[in-house]
Amino acid sequence: MEGATQKVNFADCYVLTYGRTKAAVTSFLDRFLPQRAEYADRYELPQFSDNPVIEFQTAEQLLDYLEQDLHTVHAIYWYNPEDTTIRAAMALFTSDGQVILGLTCECHKDDDSVEQGCLKELMAFCRSTVGLIEYEKPAPKDTDELLQRIGASSGHKEGKA
């Protein structure tokens, strides 16, 4: 139907980075989600534990810890309180000392230009050649899973920024 509103979906754009530092994550957030709020009100280790060994009150405190402990796995999510195409950001710390940075963006069913542009910009910012767009799937838990998903996908993007 002409003039009908396109259905809005959400796409997750993931990029593998080698900058597991608080400064790198903060720079990413400042660039892509300058107005942000944390989804969680506390962060426990292990994540989602009923009996945490350590608890942090802010993502900033957790980022300090994760920068030093290269093998702790944790996902941190921020949301955008403003109404823009970028709806959320994430930093997925992996057991192999890496971090996968991600953005959730609004997109339209028959037009992938928004998420393709988002991924391209994110890959360029991170200076990474490894990126992926997914729809309605849980975030990858580690580098191997991200690489497997890239290898298994035919319609998703992996490429050079």
**pLDDT < 70 regions, the chain:** 1-8, 154-161
- The three-state DSSP-derived secondary structure of the chain is CCCCCCCEEEEEEEEEECCCCHHHHHHHHHHHCCCCEECCCCEEECCCCCCCCEEECCHHHHHHHHHHCCCCCEEEEEECCCCCCEEEEEEEECCCCCEEEEEEEEEECCECHHHHHHHHHHHHHHCCCCEEEECCCCCCCCHHHHHHHHHHCCCCCCCCC
Per-residue confidence (pLDDT) for residue 109, from 0 to 100: 80
Query: Residue 156: what pLDDT?
Result: 44
How much is the pLDDT for 155? 47
What pLDDT score does 153 carry? 77
Whether the model pTM is above 0.75: yes
In this predicted structure, what is the pLDDT of residue 5? 52
Domain ranges of the chain: 12-152
* pLDDT for res 7: 62
Given this model, what pLDDT does residue 161 score? Answer: 33
